[in-house]
Amino acid sequence: MTLHQKAWESAEKGCGWLLAQLQLDGSFRGGHDLRAYYKTPAALLAHGRVVEANRVLDYVEARYLRPDDDLDGTGVPWIGVYRTYPHAWICCAAMMSGRFDLARRLSGFIAGFHNAESGGFFADEARTTEEMMTTSMAGLACLWAGRQDLALAAGGWLENLWQAQPDLTRGLYTSWRQGLVTEYAEADAAGCLVDANKARQWYFQYGISAALLSALAGTTGDARWLTLARQFLHASAQCGADRYQTPQSGKIGWGAAWTYRLSRAPEDLALVEQVVAGLGALQNDDGSWLATGVYGGANAAADSVTLDVTSEFVTLQSFMGLVPVV
C-alpha cells in the first residue's frame, strides 16, 4: 500500500467516525464543550466534507462565538493556559471555507495576545509565557487570515528560540519569558522541555513549528524559513524510539509534509512515512483515536476528548496523504 493510500484510508475511517457522531444541527453526539468543535471543521474540510464542515461552523458561531470575538471555553480544563489555540484552528477552517468574517473576528482576538517585543504570542490568559505550539498555531491563523506581519514575527520568534537552545541532544526547550525558560517546576516540565531522555514527550513541538515555517517559506520565497523548518524537524531524531509513534507525534508528520512539498528531501518524506504508519497503528477499529494512544477496541465512546483527538488526526492524515511522491 502506498503512502497516499495508507494516510487517506486512515483519514477516511476517522472521518466516517466523526460523521457518525454529527447531528443535524451541527453539534456532535458526546461533544459537551469546545474541545469537540475547534478541530472538527478543519478535519471535515481537509477530507472534502465541505457541507458538513460548514454545518459545524454554523453551530460554533451560534453556540461558542461571543460578541467580543472570544470563544466560550467553559469546561475546557486547559483554556486558561493555551488561550488562543482553539481560536487558531477555527480561524484556519474559516479561511479554508471562505468565511472571512469569522476569520477576521478570531484573528483579531488572537492578535490581542501578540507580544510585539518578542514577536511571539502569549499562551496563557495572564500573558506571562510564550510557547511554541501557541505561537506557531497563532502564526498560521494570522497568515491564513491575511495578517502576514504577525506571522512573520512569529517566525522570527521561532528563529530566536532555536538560536537560544543550549543542547539539542538534551532536548528542545519550548517556552519563553523574556528569554528561554530553562528552569521550571517539575509539574511544568512537559510544557517547557521536550526531554530527549524520556518517552512520550510533546514531540509535536518539532512539527507545529515546521508547519508555520514551511508556510512562511512558501509565502515569501525566503529559503531561510525552509532551512529552519527542516532543522526543527530533524532535531526530533535526538528523541527516544517512540518519537514518531505516539499521539504526540502527529504534528511532526504535518510539518514534514508541508516542508517536503518545498524541499523534496528524502529524509523529510521519511518522517511523513513514519508518522503515517505510527498514527495508523494507534487508530481504533471504528476509526477513532484516543488521547492515550492505547487501543480502545472496536468502538470508542464519543466524548469531547476523543472528538478532539480524532479530528486532529483526520486533518493530519489528510494533509500527509497529499504529499507529492515522485
More confident residue, 291 or 22: 22
Tell me the percentage of the chain whose pLDDT exceeds 70.
Answer: 98
C-alpha 33/C-alpha 52 separation (Å) is 19
Q: Transcribe 243-303 into DSSP letters.
A: TTSSGGGHHHHHHHHHHHHHH--HHHHHHHHHHHHHHHHH--TTS---TT-S---S-----
Q: Predicted confidence band at 296 (pLDDT cuts at 50, 70, 90)?
A: low
Q: Which pLDDT score is estimated for 276?
A: 98
Question: Tell me, what DSSP letter sits at residue 185?
Answer: -
Q: What are the CA-CA distances from residue 249 to residues 62, 200, 252, 278, 317 (Å)?
A: 33, 9, 6, 8, 12
Q: What are the CA-CA distances from residue 102 to residues 89, 91, 108, 153 (Å)?
A: 12, 7, 10, 23
Give the 3-state secondary structure of residue 203: coil
Phi, psi of 301 (to 5 degrees): -70, 140
pTM value is 0.97
Class of domain 3-320: mainly alpha
C-alpha 316/C-alpha 262 separation (Å) is 18
- Each residue of 40-60: pLDDT tens digit? 999 999 999 999 999 999 999
* Nearest by Cα to 136 from 100, 189, 82, 179: 82
- Is 326's pLDDT higher than 70? no
Q: Which pLDDT score is estimated for 291?
A: 87
